């Protein structure tokens, strides 16, 4: 009789095993999967999991960046470096190009958050992608707490929260008709702290902006926004230098920094453990629009 | 005290902790949302901005207290109608464990949601109101948990503050439930008297119920032994994907990737591949982090064999003297999950079992089960939404299946409507021939 104690399995091991299973399931069942890669920590972890899932074969799908044109230089540099290291094909779905072609129009407040969606859906249609890996986690936001791991999208890329497929055991229903697609969330069961512990354990490099550094910022609605070309100070705003880091990385015009001295992964883990504000609450202007801002965007086809 | 627990819980994550998934059952009236809110709040898993948002909405609606249900009921329709429409997943951690809660709503689509939440649960938590005692719904919850073979059951007798912390009332509820659970073969039952509202016996033992000598709920959740719930005896590795790099560095590499469903695999072990029946030996078990000496559930690994066999997705790696018999006639209990059309004998569906997909025809509906009385209605002609019944199916290709009671991975399958592509049923195999 074997002792059970020998077969211990940590929560990070369990999460990794589940994510790897999900990724293999997608590659086995879909014809044209793609991984959405923003250069943010969650998509970076997802890319690492993809690398592990198919080793020693290369990652068997391309990655796609929905580029709002409002980027952090460090993140773009990281994206290009990582893609080259892994030898994966990078597709850029460009919001500036879509503005030029007339597919979308700049919104009144200058935020490109919402106009990413048509650009994403256009690229999905053009490349005929049938499965899109996204790095969203259920702990991030309450609309995401109810989303499936395999989340069905109709031919318009829309999510219908009242009409989701039941998801039992680890049996994921991958059946779709032409033009429909599935958004797949391998990190559904991970929390922010899990992601950081995994980054630490796997020694995953991240863009520098995730760690404390000095930056010129303005205080807007209680959040610290970096001053740059896409985000000039408004009248009455006084830019100042602060030691900050980014807790999430999104469009540079709507992602705020947090005041922080955490300049190593260990210190970030400590900081994330002690914080009393959710990461999206602390850093995302786009979620503050209404109680159901995320659900409304997701219905339209947002990640 | 609470602060100390939370602080250590966050700092201690460097130490390996394990993972417990549990499902909660009960209606809003039983205090389920309050209990979940309490667990999250006392382990510092609710953030200030989340709480502030919930408080603001509660105040705007004129609630007398902060409605913690709003933490999970985030969808527009739920807020507008004050109902919970779907399983919500919540997360918290202590130094010992990370917890995933599948919070299943009490009223609408109850069976479908409960079955979904229970399918992956190590433990189910059932709430009753101490003033009301066991109600029909409590028995139904317990039955569904036993049907899904959730290994551990916890009955929380809530609102003990409203019955004057009465030992007598607690004991009578505990006795009645224990007797009922015994009939269901519920494997491990714990009963805890609590007050979710006041925090008694949630994180720390309550001084107001000195007659109770068991652990507080969180202590039980942290310590309940789940490692031996896994089946480490029957080797089952459903092949998920064949890894063939065909690169200059790995020209002839061929590995069979999958997640171990049960059993322990080691290099050198003799194995059998189903449905072909060919045998070989394990040459190595590999991961991106290097080879491993053993693979056991729930590891995702890549197995290489000493012989070149024709193996593809949907095949099963097992042991020559411990292998399921490939079967096309399947007896199963099915929970029907589709509102648009009932299950009916003669209809054809797609089934997904492990990594294998087949078509199946419903040969016979043997009976429909009344989940409240456990009465079997043999005159039933179909299964409507949320109904459970025993059916016999014939599949186009053999399933490599075990009884569900023996193996929750190789014993379960989902039923998909080929016209709508919707998942319409969940099945637990009773017998396969």
The span from the first CA to the last CA of chain A, in angstroms, equals 48
The pLDDT assigned to B326 comes to 94
Domains of chain A from N-terminus onward: 9-193+292-300 (3.40.50.620), 206-287 (no CATH)
Task: With beta carbons less than 8 A apart as the criterion, state whether A88 and B277 touch.
Answer: no
Report pLDDT digits (tens) over B121-173: 999 999 999 999 998 888 888 999 999 999 999 999 999 999 999 999 999 99
DSSP state, residue B324 = P
Q: pTM for the full model?
A: 0.93
- As beta bridge partners, residue B272 has B279, B318
Q: Are residues B43 and B85 both part of a single domain?
A: yes
Task: With beta carbons less than 8 A apart as the criterion, state whether B204 and B38 touch.
Answer: no
Report CA-CA distances (Å) from B24 to A86, B104, B194: 42, 6, 15
The pLDDT assigned to A223 comes to 87
Whether A57 sits inside 8 A of B409 (CB atoms) is no
Closest CB from A7, A51, A177 relative to B227: A7
Give the E-state strand segments of A149-208 in sequence order: 150-153, 181-184
Residues B336-348, mean pLDDT to the nearest whole number: 95
Task: With beta carbons less than 8 A apart as the criterion, state whether B233 and B264 touch.
Answer: no
Give DSSP secondary structure letters for A271-286.
HHHH--S-HHHHHBGG
Task: With beta carbons less than 8 A apart as the criterion, state whether A114 and A121 touch.
Answer: no
Low-confidence winner among A68-77, A205-214, A249-258, B256-265 (lowest mean pLDDT)? A249-258
Task: With beta carbons less than 8 A apart as the criterion, state whether B196 and B206 touch.
Answer: no
Counted domains in chain B: 3
Closest CB from B57, B76, B232 relative to A2: B232
B95 φ, ψ (degrees, to nearest 5):
-60, -30
- Cβ-based contacts under 8 A for chains A and B: 211
What's the mean per-residue pLDDT of chain B? Answer: 90
Whether A52 sits inside 8 A of B287 (CB atoms) is yes
Q: Are residues B152 and B298 both part of a single domain?
A: no
**CB of B66 less than 8 A from some CB of A:** no
Closest CB from B47, B228, B421 relative to A176: B421
Q: Are residues B153 and B300 both part of a single domain?
A: no
Whether B18 sits inside 8 A of A176 (CB atoms) is no
Q: How far is A262 from chain B (nearest CA, A)?
A: 15
In the listed set B287, B318, B349, which residue is the last one of a domain according to the structure? Answer: B318
Question: How many other C-beta atoms are found inside a 10 Å radius of the C-beta of residue B170?
Answer: 20
Closest CB from B77, B240, B250 relative to A24: B240
**CB of A58 less than 8 A from some CB of B:** yes
- Determine whether A139 is exposed, middle or buried from the number of CB atoms within 10 Å of its CB (0-12, 13-18, 19+): buried
> Cα separation of A291 and A42, whole Å?
24
Q: Are residues B186 and B92 both part of a single domain?
A: yes
Whether B287 sits inside 8 A of A55 (CB atoms) is yes
Range of the domain at B353: 327-432
Closest CB from A8, A143, A277 relative to B227: A8
Closest alpha carbon to A121 in A53, A181, A51: A181
Question: How many other C-beta atoms are found inside a 10 Å radius of the C-beta of residue B9?
Answer: 22
Q: What angle do CA B254, B256, B259 make, to 5 degrees?
A: 155
Q: Are residues B48 and B166 both part of a single domain?
A: yes
Chain A residues touching residue B11 (CB < 8 angstroms): 270, 273
Report pLDDT digits (tens) over B210-240: 999 999 999 999 999 998 899 999 999 999 9
Q: Are residues B413 and B384 both part of a single domain?
A: yes
The pLDDT assigned to A222 comes to 84
Report pLDDT digits (tens) over B34-82: 888 889 888 877 777 777 877 787 788 777 667 666 766 666 666 666 6
In the listed set B183, B208, B229, which residue is the last one of a domain according to the structure? Answer: B229
Q: Are residues B309 and B371 both part of a single domain?
A: no
Task: Check which CATH number belongs to the domain holding B61 and give it.
Answer: 3.40.50.300
Task: With beta carbons less than 8 A apart as the criterion, state whether B412 and B119 touch.
Answer: yes
Better-scored residue on pLDDT, B238 or A285: B238
Give DSSP secondary structure letters for B187-205.
SEEEEEE-BTTTTBTTTB-
Q: Are residues B417 and B289 both part of a single domain?
A: no
**CB of A178 less than 8 A from some CB of B:** no
**CB of B146 less than 8 A from some CB of A:** no
A290, closest residue in chain B (CA to CA): B53
The pLDDT assigned to A173 comes to 98
A146, closest residue in chain B (CA to CA): B88
- What's the token pair of residue B430? 């009773």
Give DSSP secondary structure letters for B239-274.
--EEE----SSSTT--EEEEE--BS-B-TT-EEEEE
Report pLDDT digits (tens) over A47-80: 999 999 999 999 999 999 999 998 889 999 999 9
The pLDDT assigned to B289 comes to 96
Task: Check which CATH number belongs to the domain holding B304 and give it.
Answer: 2.40.30.10
Q: Are residues B345 and B269 both part of a single domain?
A: no
Closest CB from B13, B408, B422 relative to A197: B13
Q: Are residues B219 and B247 both part of a single domain?
A: no
**CB of B289 less than 8 A from some CB of A:** yes
**CB of A146 less than 8 A from some CB of B:** yes
Q: What ipTM was assigned to the predicted interfaces of this complex?
A: 0.93
Tell me the Cα Rg of chain A: 19
H or E element at residue A85: helix A73-86
Chain A residues touching residue B408 (CB < 8 angstroms): 169
Task: Kindly tell me if the per-residue pLDDT of A111 is higher than 70.
Answer: yes
**CB of B120 less than 8 A from some CB of A:** yes
Report, in this order, helix, strand and coil percent for chain A, each rounded to 5.
40, 15, 45
Closest alpha carbon to B174 in B190, B195, B153: B190
The pLDDT assigned to B9 comes to 42
In the listed set B318, B352, B378, which residue is the last one of a domain according to the structure? Answer: B318
Task: With beta carbons less than 8 A apart as the criterion, state whether A180 and A152 touch.
Answer: yes
The pLDDT assigned to A259 comes to 92
Q: How far is B426 from chain A (nearest CA, A)?
A: 7
> Cα separation of B237 and B261, whole Å?
6
Q: Are residues B252 and B225 both part of a single domain?
A: no
Q: Are residues B276 and B376 both part of a single domain?
A: no
Q: Which of residues 178-207 of B touch A (CB under 8 A)?
A: none
> Cα separation of B244 and B313, whole Å?
13
Task: With beta carbons less than 8 A apart as the criterion, state whether A40 and A48 touch.
Answer: no
Task: With beta carbons less than 8 A apart as the criterion, state whether B110 and B126 touch.
Answer: no
Q: Which of residues 4-23 of B touch A (CB under 8 A)?
A: 10-11, 13-14, 16-19
């Amino acid at each position: 009789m074997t002792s059970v104690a020998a077969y211990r399995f940590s929560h990070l091991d369990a999460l990794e095993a589940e994510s790897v299973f999900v990724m293999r399931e997608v590659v086995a069942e879909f014809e044209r999967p793609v991984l959405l890669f923003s250069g943010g920590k969650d998509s970076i972890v997802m890319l690492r999991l993809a690398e592990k899932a198919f080793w020693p074969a290369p990652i068997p799908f391309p990655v796609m960046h929905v580029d709002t044109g409002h980027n952090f230089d460090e993140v773009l540099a990281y994206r290009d470096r990582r893609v080259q290291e892994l030898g994966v094909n990078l597709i850029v779905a460009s919001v500036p190009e879509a503005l030029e072609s007339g597919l979308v129009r700049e919104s009144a407040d200058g935020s490109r958050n919402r106009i990413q969606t048509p650009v994403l859906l256009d690229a999905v249609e053009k490349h005929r992608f049938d499965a899109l890996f996204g790095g969203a986690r259920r702990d991030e936001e309450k609309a995401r707490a109810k989303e499936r791991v395999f989340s069905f999208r109709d031919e318009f890329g829309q999510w219908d929260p009242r009409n989701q497929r039941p998801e039992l055991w680890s049996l994921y229903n991958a059946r779709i008709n032409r033009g429909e697609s599935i958004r797949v969330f391998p990190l559904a069961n991970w929390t922010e702290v899990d992601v950081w512990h995994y980054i630490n354990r796997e020694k995953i490099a991240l863009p520098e902006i995730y760690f404390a550094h000095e930056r010129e910022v303005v205080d807007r609605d209680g959040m610290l926004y970096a001053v740059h070309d896409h985000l000039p100070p408004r009248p009455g705003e006084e830019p100042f230098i602060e030691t900050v880091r980014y807790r999430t990385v999104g469009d540079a015009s709507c992602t705020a920094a947090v005041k922080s001295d955490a300049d190593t992964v260990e210190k970030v883990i400590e900081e994330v453990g002690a914080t009393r504000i959710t990461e999206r609450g602390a850093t995302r202007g786009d979620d503050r629009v209404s109680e159901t801002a995320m659900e409304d965007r997701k219905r339209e086809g947002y990640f | 005290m609470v602060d100390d627990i939370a602080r250590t819980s966050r700092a201690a994550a460097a130490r390996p902790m394990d993972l417990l998934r549990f499902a909660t059952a009960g209606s809003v009236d039983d205090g389920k949302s309050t209990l979940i809110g309490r667990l999250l709040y006392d382990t510092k898993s609710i953030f200030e901005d989340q709480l502030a948002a919930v408080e603001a909405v509660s105040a705007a609606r004129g609630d007398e207290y902060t409605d913690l249900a709003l933490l999970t009921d985030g969808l527009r329709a739920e807020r507008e109608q004050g109902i919970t429409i779907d399983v919500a997943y919540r997360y918290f951690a202590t130094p010992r464990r990370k917890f995933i809660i599948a919070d299943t709503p009490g009223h609408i689509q109850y069976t479908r949601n409960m079955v979904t939440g229970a399918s992956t649960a190590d433990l189910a938590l059932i709430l009753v109101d101490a003033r009301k005692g066991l109600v029909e719904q409590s028995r139904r919850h317990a039955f569904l948990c036993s049907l899904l073979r959730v290994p551990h059951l916890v009955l929380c007798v809530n609102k003990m503050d409203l019955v004057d912390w009465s030992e007598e009332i607690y004991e009578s509820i505990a006795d009645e439930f224990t007797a009922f659970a015994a009939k269901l073969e519920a494997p491990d039952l714990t009963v805890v008297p609590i007050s979710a509202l006041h925090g008694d016996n949630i994180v720390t033992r309550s001084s107001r119920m000195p007659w109770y000598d068991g652990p507080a709920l969180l202590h039980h959740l942290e310590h309940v032994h789940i490692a031996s719930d896994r089946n480490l005896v029957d080797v089952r590795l459903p092949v998920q994907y064949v890894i063939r790099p065909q690169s200059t560095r790995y020209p002839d590499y061929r590995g069979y990737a999958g997640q171990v469903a049960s059993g322990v695999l080691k290099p050198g072990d003799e194995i059998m591949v189903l449905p072909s029946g060919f045998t070989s030996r394990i040459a190595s078990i590999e991961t991106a982090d290097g080879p491993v000496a053993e693979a056991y559930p729930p590891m995702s690994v890549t197995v290489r064999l000493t012989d070149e066999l024709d193996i593809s997705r949907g095949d099963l790696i097992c042991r020559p003297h411990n292998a399921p018999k490939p079967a096309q006639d399947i007896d199963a209990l099915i929970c029907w999950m589709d509102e648009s059309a009932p299950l009916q004998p003669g209809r054809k569906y797609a089934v997904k079992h492990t990594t294998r997909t087949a078509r199946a025809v419903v040969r016979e509906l043997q009976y429909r089960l009344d989940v409240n009385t456990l009465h079997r209605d043999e005159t039933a002609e179909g299964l409507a939404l949320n109904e459970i019944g025993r059916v016999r199916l014939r599949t186009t290709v053999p399933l490599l299946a075990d009884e569900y009671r023996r193996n929750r991975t190789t014993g379960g399958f989902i039923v998909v409507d080929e016209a709508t592509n919707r998942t319409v049923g969940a099945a637990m195999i009773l017998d396969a021939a």
